[in-house]
Homo-oligomer: A and B are copies of this chain.
Amino acid sequence: MPHPLFEKHKATLDAAISAIHGRGYWTPYPEMPSPKVYGETAADDGKRAFEACLGADFVLDQPGQTGWAASERSPYGIDMAVRYPVCDPEALIAAAQGAMAGWRKLGADGRVGVCLEILDRLNKRSFEIAHAVMMTTGQGWMMAFQAGGPHAQDRGLEAVAYAWDEMSRVPAETVWEKPQGKNPPLKMKKHYEIVGRGVGLVVGCGTFPTWNTYPGLFATLATGNPVIIKAHSNAILPAAMTVKIARGVLAEAGQDPNLVSLAVVEQRAATQALATHPAVKSIDFTGSNVFGQWLIDNARQAQVYAELAGVNNVVIESTDSYKAMLRNLAFTLCLYSGQMCTTTQAILVPADGIDTDQGRKSFDEVAADLGAAIDKFLTDPAVATAVLGAIQSEATLDRIAEAGEYGRIVLASKKIDHPDFPKAEVRTPVLLSCDAVDEKSYMEERFGPIAFVVKVADAAAAVGLSERIVSEHGALTVGLYSNKQAVIDAMTDATLRAGVALSINLTGGVFVNQSAAFSDYHGVGMNPAANAAYSDGAFVANRFRVVQRRYHVE
């Protein structure tokens, strides 16, 4: 008899398994914040629930609490002042370990059922979580709702589907019967138990505190492990809401809520101590190369799944839709002010220009036209602020301010006012141009709305440079514009060697920085930008082991 929550959500799970095998479009979580889908009062309820958190204690009833901390500063300039419980990491770990045996005994179906119920509850609370995501990260409302809500839930569900896909192929028991010629067969009963490897630590990032956290959270949890979420100090609320919902579902299911807990850690040294704790067996990390590499080098007791910095790039060789190409690229560079780990940073253009449906365009024309396309796209202030959102960190503001040092300015960044949030830090993208030899300019990640049009010798050099950038500095996304099959083939081969996802001739409503759950693998795990993908078999298979026992039966 499968667990009741497994039965309740079985249709969703079956469809999700089907989706990861077929990889067509699918989602159970509607991305439009529509009252028809989420309920007539959902928008207001969510807003009020978010507002009720501001200036208040966020109670989680976790063990080992030593105090409260409030560290969030909203990019929109509103006063957050949410106080989160600070708990002794040792107490969180001990409680997590104490909860493991019961979680194992619940079985794969029970764990998956509980995870699906958590996701269902998260979906119903999408508005509330979206406000938390928006106000902590600076995302525009629509992105905060979609990427922070349904799309993040998709990624969580995808991880659960992969976990079930792996675990369900291990039988609980078998009878092994080996013929012995004329003698009676050897006959044994064997039991196979799926055992989690230990406490999982999920380290969230400041820009996508749910989308980048849910894959690790749900992959770890479904495979039998407790999870401690160490949220980014500026984006705790979305993680805290998630933890509270998860703990509620766990308790209702008769499980120890300490299977999911929130670690609010203010000192890097304390995070390092947590990450290197012998009980921590997996770490999912999204963030900087410096700390990510530190984890890989030092948290040797754990499997580290890391998404780090990269230099996403696009090669423009030719196009038969020049305007649509520019519009598509302009949107990519504007969306959330380039603060996506998938946003293009380097646009590689041949020195002698490109063939287009509007005639030959010189290198300088391409650069200037792209700048103009960005400018035009941002003409309407309502569109601009909705798409750009606000700048998440001081460091990004600093990079924008000093961007002129990196190259020739094609389009300067402007500070613009937000009609609803007077203190919001809104900036338009800065577009620079430089030569391929100026590697120190464009060949390290300049996180934020800073992009380069890079002059390369010719198309072959562009493809070669793209491959080298990916191999040496990493990338989550690469794009190509070309109407020549030989160039498409060369770029395809380059991306297969370097290990990066390629988008070809995007001129419509899909953008290179978008990655759809169940269909697009986010990251490949083959280049320096990430050592794992969301999600695939490898993302889940190493999070559990099978322990067997056997004995003779008649």
Contacts and interface: CB of A to CB of B under 8 A. Distances in A.
Interface of A: 20-25, 101, 104, 165-166, 169-171, 174-180, 186, 188, 190, 192-193, 195, 197, 492-493, 495-496, 499-510, 516, 519-521, 524-526, 533, 536-538, 541-542, 545-552
A197 B505 CA distance: 27
A554 to B, nearest CB: 11
B25 A508 contact: no
Contacts of A499: 195, 545, 547
A52 to B, nearest CB: 33
Nearest to A23: B174
Contacts of A516: 176, 178
Given A546-B521, A546-B536, A504 B541 contact: no
B24 A495 contact: no
Given A24-B174, A545-B525, A193 B496 contact: yes
Contacts of A541: 166, 536-538, 541-542
B24 A180 contact: no
* Chain copies in complex: 2
B547 A504 contact: no
Given A23-B190, A496-B193, A505 B546 contact: no
28 contacts: A21-B171, A22-B171, A22-B174, A23-B174, A24-B176, A25-B178, A166-B541, A176-B516, A186-B510, A495-B547, A495-B549, A500-B547, A501-B548, A503-B549, A504-B550, A506-B552, A507-B552, A510-B552, A521-B546, A524-B547, A526-B547, A533-B546, A536-B541, A536-B546, A538-B541, A538-B545, A541-B541, A542-B542
A528 to B, nearest CB: 11
Nearest to A507: B552
A505 B551 contact: yes
Contacts of A24: 174-177
B186 A520 contact: no
Contact of A502 (B496, B533, B545, B548): B548
Is the contact region of chain A dominated by helix, strand, or loop, or is it mixed? mixed
A104 to B, nearest CB: 7
A505 B493 CA distance: 57
A512 B305 CA distance: 36
A174 B550 CA distance: 43
A175 to B, nearest CB: 7
A306 to B, nearest CB: 13
B533 A496 contact: no
B501 A188 contact: no
Contacts of A104: 496
A176 B515 CA distance: 12
Contacts of A166: 537, 541
Residue of A499, A508, A521, A546 with highest tally of chain B CB at under 10 A: A546
A519 B550 CA distance: 10
Given A165-B169, A174-B23, A176-B24, A186 B508 contact: yes
Given A176-B24, A195-B499, A504-B551, A510 B546 contact: no
Contacts of A505: 551-552
Given A537-B541, A547-B496, A192 B23 contact: yes
Nearest 6 A/B pairs, CB to CB: A504-B551, A537-B541, A502-B549, A538-B541, A541-B541, A23-B174
A51 B356 CA distance: 71
A542 B533 CA distance: 11
A193 B177 CA distance: 40
Contact of A508 (B193, B502, B524, B552): B552
A175 B186 CA distance: 50
Given A25-B176, A537-B537, A546-B524, A519 B190 contact: yes
A504 B169 contact: no
Nearest to A193: B496
B551 A533 contact: no
Contacts of A526: 195, 197, 545, 547
Contacts of A23: 171, 174, 176, 190, 192
Contacts of A171: 21-23
A22 to B, nearest CB: 6
A526 B188 CA distance: 24
Contacts of A552: 505-508, 510
Contact of A195 (B21, B496, B509, B545): B496
